[in-house]
Amino acid sequence: MLDIKFVRENPDLVKENIKKKFQDAKLPMVDEVLELDAKNRAAITEASDLRARKNALSKANGPLFGKLKKAEGEEKAAIQAQIDANMAAVKADDERLAELETLEEDYAKRIHSLMLNIPNIIDPSVPIGPDDSCNVEVQRFGEPVVPPYEIPYHTDIMERFNGVDMDAAGRVSGNGFYYLMGDIARLHSAVLAYARDFMINKGFIYCIPPFMIHGNVVEGVMSQTDMDAMMYKIEGEDLYLIGTSEHSMIGKFIDQIIPEASLPQTLTSYSPCFRKEKGAHGIEERGVYRIHQFEKQEMIVVCKPEDSMAWYEKMWRFSVELFRSMGIPVRQLECCSGDLADLKVKSCDIEAWSPRQQKYFEVCSCSNLGDAQARRLKMRVKGADGKTYLPHTLNNTVVAPPRMLIAFLENHLQADGSVTIPEVLRPYMGGIEILIPKK
């Protein structure tokens, strides 16, 4: 969310940013916000003037009451008339103040609602385009290989190890759920454990957060559009299931003043994730690619504004290093303006190579959100000079199996149907070097 002062002073820049994000339908919001802001400031000014006059009138009545006790006749009547006039003016001011306070509250709510929908200012380096078809490949890491033998669909590979049961999950929970079994379930947990230790070794603090959050935290960490498309609401309670642990990890700092000396806050968190995944369809959406429940290791950073771009670079490179350590080729894809969520300043995806599809697909998403989440959540940093300012927040996927398992199984599948285990994962797999199919 932008600062209202910034919008007031830079309306053309805000509108140009909306156009760059191909959200022209939101352009009238800027003028509406400015009109409401002008009315709100006028109401605040009038209310302030009325309070000053009310205090002056009340103060003036003090000496008059003293004079009233000593006065007689016409003088007493004149003093009483002045007192009555002052009190009538105070009453009138009280009535107008009540009206103005109601107006201020109404204006503030309407401004806040509109501001939640005006997108954050994107970084100048972001490529301009209407949707993900305009995302730009920046660089590749590792050589993508297409083996001379067939790579089956990922659930077919898993079934050879008796490692997945989609039918039972459908009976128990419906579409978009799964049972992972045996070696495949163990591999899933091994990847998460390795990712956890990988980030701890990078200096991040490990955390297991709450898996449900209040509505004001949801509003603080994501846009209304994203919330409607993703979040599951707990009926009858002010609680939502998290779509990613970033939600509760950033929410941890709501209404907090953070000592500057404690920055950067670098945290890595494990959680299950729950998503509606509205609109998911097609052959690549079945299996365990787009699902309603999965587990993930996440990284988040809260830092000084001047440090956020340096952290952005570090964070996506951590993902590259992690995947390459497991022998999976990846590429970095810069997200274009139209593919950025409204709170994001800059974002990139790390995509893994799929030998079966002979293309890359998303496995990590790294984002710099500037001070948008901090402003919404009222997070502040207290500097050495005693003044407070808004920090920047960033997040990135460390690893999100079971989607990551698709890339892993395809890239490590051998011609005989076995799956090799890279050296970094073997301690988490009881020393196993290769998985042998059951059928």
Q: Biggest alpha carbon distance in the chain?
A: 116
Assess if residue 125 is contained within a domain: no
| pLDDT tens digits along 262-321 | 999 999 999 999 998 755 444 445 688 888 999 999 999 999 999 999 999 999 999 999
Q: Are 66 and 164 found together in one domain?
A: no
Spell out the alpha helix ranges (H) of 210-268: 215-221, 224-230, 245-251
Q: Are 360 and 399 found together in one domain?
A: yes
Domain around 23:
4-115
Q: In Å, what is the CA distance from 253 to each residue of 217, 219, 268, 372, 381?
A: 10, 14, 15, 13, 10
What letter does residue 130 receive in the DSSP assignment? S
Strands (E), 124-218: 136-141, 164-165, 179-180, 205-207, 212-213
Assess if residue 192 is contained within a domain: yes
Place of tokens 């997200």: 335
Strands (E), 210-345: 212-213, 232-233, 240-241, 257-259, 265-274, 293-303, 330-334
**Are the beta carbons of 296 and 93 closer than 8 angstroms?**
no
Q: What's residue 72's pLDDT?
A: 67
Question: Domain boundary at 115, 143, 165, which?
Answer: 115
The whole-angstrom separation of Cα 230 and Cα 232 is: 7
Q: Are 35 and 138 found together in one domain?
A: no
Assess if residue 320 is contained within a domain: yes
Q: Is residue 76's pLDDT more than 80?
A: no
Q: In Å, what is the CA distance from 285 to each residue of 116, 171, 292?
A: 31, 19, 12
Q: Are 277 and 352 found together in one domain?
A: yes
The whole-angstrom separation of Cα 437 and Cα 235 is: 43
Q: Are 136 and 110 found together in one domain?
A: no
282-283-285-287 Cα dihedral, nearest 10 degrees: 150
| pLDDT tens digits along 147-175 | 999 999 999 999 999 999 999 999 999 98
Mean pLDDT across the chain, nearest whole number? 92
- Average of per-residue pLDDT across 87-94: 74
Cβ-proximal residues to 63 (8 Å cutoff; 6+ apart), any chain: none
By C-alpha distance, which of 167, 223, 201, 183 is closest to 340?
Answer: 223
Q: Are 40 and 142 found together in one domain?
A: no
Percent of the chain topping pLDDT 70: 92
Q: Are 356 and 218 found together in one domain?
A: yes
| pLDDT tens digits along 11-42 | 999 999 999 999 999 999 999 999 999 999 99
Question: Domain boundary at 90, 115, 140, which?
Answer: 115
Tokens of 163: 């490692």
Q: Are 200 and 323 found together in one domain?
A: yes
Q: Is there a cis peptide before residue 305, judged by omega within 30 degrees of 0?
A: no
Q: Are 281 and 314 found together in one domain?
A: yes
pTM above the 0.85 mark? yes
Assess if residue 120 is contained within a domain: no
Assess if residue 123 is contained within a domain: no
**Are the beta carbons of 399 and 297 closer than 8 angstroms?**
yes
Q: Are 316 and 378 found together in one domain?
A: yes
Residue 304, burial from CB neighbour count under 10 angstroms (0-12, 13-18, 19+): middle
Q: Are 301 and 398 found together in one domain?
A: yes
The whole-angstrom separation of Cα 263 and Cα 249 is: 15
By C-alpha distance, which of 353, 292, 29, 83 is closest to 169?
Answer: 292
The total number of structural domains that make up the chain: 2
Q: What's residue 229's pLDDT?
A: 80
Assess if residue 124 is contained within a domain: no
| pLDDT tens digits along 349-394 | 999 999 999 999 999 999 999 999 999 999 999 999 999 999 999 9
Place of tokens 């642990």: 245
Q: Write the CATH number for 25.
A: 1.10.287
> Using a CB cutoff of 8 Å and minimum separation of 24, what contacts does 202-205 make?
202/266, 202/318, 203/266, 204/266, 204/267, 204/268, 204/299, 205/266, 205/267, 205/268
| Distance, CA of 111 to chain centre | 21
- Average of per-residue pLDDT across 90-117: 90
Assess if residue 126 is contained within a domain: no
Q: Are 107 and 255 found together in one domain?
A: no
> Using a CB cutoff of 8 Å and minimum separation of 24, what contacts does 168-177 make?
173/292, 176/277, 176/280, 176/290, 176/291, 176/292, 176/293, 177/291, 177/292, 177/293
Q: Write the CATH number for 383.
A: 3.30.930.10
Q: What's residue 66's pLDDT?
A: 66
**Are the beta carbons of 1 and 372 closer than 8 angstroms?**
yes
Question: Domain boundary at 87, 115, 143, which?
Answer: 115
Place of tokens 């890595």: 268
Assess if residue 145 is contained within a domain: yes
What letter does residue 254 receive in the DSSP assignment? T
